[in-house]
A and B are shown apart, each in its own frame.
Chain A
Amino acid sequence: MKYTIGLKCKECKREYSINPIHVCEFCFGPLEVIYDYEKIKKSLTREKIEGRPKSMWRYRELLPLDGDPSVGTDVGFTPLIRSEGLARALGVKELYLKNDAVNHPTLSFKDRVVSVALSKAREFGFRIVACASTGNLANSVAALAAAGGFKSYIFVPYDLEQGKILGTLIYGTKLIGVKGSYDEVNRLCSEIAENYGWAFVNINIRPFYAEGSKTFGYEIAEQLGWKVPQHVIVPMAGGSLITKIWKGFKEFESIGLLDEVPTKIYGAQASGSNPIVAAFKAGVDWIKPQRPQTIAKSLAIGNPADGYYALKTIRDSGGYAEDVTDEEIIEGMKLLAQTEGIFTETAGGVTVGVTKKLIEQGIIPRDESILISITGNGLKTQEAIQDRVGRPLIIDARLSDFEKIGAPKIRERTTSLQAAL
């Protein structure tokens, strides 16, 4: 069953039929998928969703495929955790973490968008898929292309973290390191996309690809018992995820799966790559491109494609935008790991750092429900913290050597009965 109607320009509202296109030929605005919400409303219920397998495809009516997904069929439905340790550390009452650091197969939220993009690419009949990436998308396209039987070409800035390079090459893709920033990689890919006829997931397949991010929002709502938090903090690179989480909440509201959406959405960036935050604070609705300089390479986009819409989401929802320094990013990564046992990548350090800052500034109240979006895994960005987490103590295999360390000797243990008291 098909629930899509076509594509529509987000600016001038001209409509197009479903095709691998992403730009309005009249006004050059971005295209977005339109759905038959009346039909979805009649068909999709909370009970129906709850009865389906635990993957992002349990919301399939709201995703832009004609048939069944053929790639990444078990992606998503990652843990939503009620935080205790981090909540205490931040001094807040009700804190949640949505943890896509353990999304599968490649440990970031990008698996959501790529499974939609490649399933759609198959419907269009493409055999070669490609992307421009800061790393996480590269991992995901390479892995899911391998699983789905596509050939893939992947373009990244040549100076990416080693983990992201290895985590792409292992899948047997053609990886091309471009001497330049992500924005330059992206510009080059726009030119290649025009000439090669491939499915570039974040260029000509972008309208479909981007819809996958809505499932991050759907899952939050379902996992909280069909309600949404009052404050949601989201990292921003190109600015697409933040708009789609908001869109997901609003869609659920419009088809009756949520009663209300009182959520304020907050955008988080690194100070060395903060074009959206800068525009928010300046009170303007256009983005001044930057040359990023930050350890948060997955967020290092100086000319964000969805920057305008990210700003609009933040403003429409009544939220705020903030950035943190590289130092604060590392502190954020360590804080999350040491209070919650979650090792996130630099982007997660940005989100945790910004949340802390907004709470301290009194912008996010301490007694309302807050959710932090964790979108990627720390094992991929080890360089950023390798000198900041100490070293192992090296000893000979002798008890006397160990005793020199001065670890506490505990002679009595708490019994489970005592602990319960």
Chain B
Amino acid sequence: MEVHVRIPTPLKKLAGERDVIKAEGKTVGEVLQWLTETYPGLKERLRDEQGGVRRFINIYVNDEDIRFNQNLETPVKEGDQISIIPAIAGGSSPKRRVTLTFPPKLIKEPVIYNVGHRFKLITNIRSANVSENVGWVTLEIDGEEEEYLKALYYLNDIGVTVEPVERNIIE
């Protein structure tokens, strides 16, 4: 099972200077295992002495905190996005800031309008680049968790790639 793992800026050095790494595994635990075997320097930064995830490291699967799912046992499927985010004291969350990348066939479709129309969500475009062949938009999305997840499934179904945005990219 191939998934994408987003590496936070302070740990990039230990992951070959890469933001996103393609990793393997059927659960978050297996993915982390794969990751720390491939990049051993990450191990002590992500896991405590008992082998758990460090308290101030948050891990999200497609923007849901694994502690609210099955923690390290949380299953992952092909193409899932796993984000590793330091919880800087004072609260920091990657939720609701995403980059949508459109395949050429969808560039002329009113996708963002549809998201706001079909689901009880408010969208706010923060940056964008749309041309003949490629289009991406960085969005802030506000609304209930359930509606947000429905929107993610919808976007996934029609072929839009959704990636969480790290907090220091937009502003």
Contacts and interface: CB of A to CB of B under 8 A. Distances in A.
Contacts of B10: 25, 28
A27 B84 CA distance: 13
Nearest to B56: A28
B94 to A, nearest CB: 10
Given A28-B10, A30-B89, 17 more contacts: A11-B48, A11-B56, A12-B48, A23-B56, A23-B89, A27-B48, A27-B54, A27-B57, A28-B87, A29-B55, A186-B91, A189-B90, A191-B167, A288-B68, A289-B91, A289-B93, A306-B89
A271 interface: no
B92 A187 contact: yes
Given A190-B88, A190-B90, A26 B55 contact: no
Contacts of B57: 27-28
Given A194-B168, A288-B68, A305 B90 contact: yes
27 contacts: A11-B48, A11-B54, A11-B55, A11-B56, A23-B86, A24-B56, A27-B48, A27-B57, A28-B57, A29-B54, A29-B89, A30-B56, A132-B90, A186-B91, A187-B91, A187-B93, A188-B171, A190-B88, A191-B167, A194-B168, A202-B90, A203-B90, A206-B89, A301-B91, A303-B91, A304-B91, A305-B89
A29 B68 CA distance: 21
Contact of B67 (A12, A191, A286, A301): A286
B18 interface: no
A288 B65 CA distance: 9
A191 B168 CA distance: 7
Interface string B65-81: 10110000000000000
A12 B55 CA distance: 10
B54 A28 contact: yes
B118 interface: no
Contacts of B167: 187, 190-191
B126 interface: no
Nearest to A304: B91
8 A-B pairs with the lowest CB-CB distances in the bound complex, closest first: A303-B91, A28-B86, A28-B56, A30-B89, A305-B90, A305-B89, A29-B56, A27-B54
A58 interface: no
Interface in A271-293: 286, 288-289
A207 B6 CA distance: 29
A22 B56 CA distance: 13
Nearest to B67: A286
A219 interface: no
B133 to A, nearest CB: 33
A280 to B, nearest CB: 16
A203 B88 CA distance: 9
A22 B92 CA distance: 14
A32 B86 CA distance: 18
Nearest to B95: A289
Nearest to A186: B90
A22 B89 contact: yes
Contacts of A191: 167-168, 171
B89 A27 contact: no
Interface residues of B, number: 21
A308 interface: yes
Contacts of B168: 191, 194
A206 to B, nearest CB: 7
Contact of B88 (A11, A23, A202): A23
B45 interface: yes
Contacts of A301: 91
B54 A190 contact: no
Interface string A311-345: 00000000000000000000000000000000000
Interface string B134-171: 00000000000000000000000000000000011001
A111 interface: no
Contacts of A23: 56, 86, 88-89
A324 to B, nearest CB: 23
Contacts of A22: 89
Contacts of A304: 91
A100 interface: no
B58 to A, nearest CB: 9
Contacts of B92: 187, 190
Contacts of A305: 89-91
Interface in B24-75: 45, 48, 54-57, 65, 67-68
A24 B89 CA distance: 10
Contacts of B48: 11-12, 27
B93 A28 contact: no
A206 B56 contact: no
A183 B91 CA distance: 7
Contacts of A286: 55, 67
Contacts of B88: 23, 28, 190
B91 A27 contact: no
A365 B91 CA distance: 36
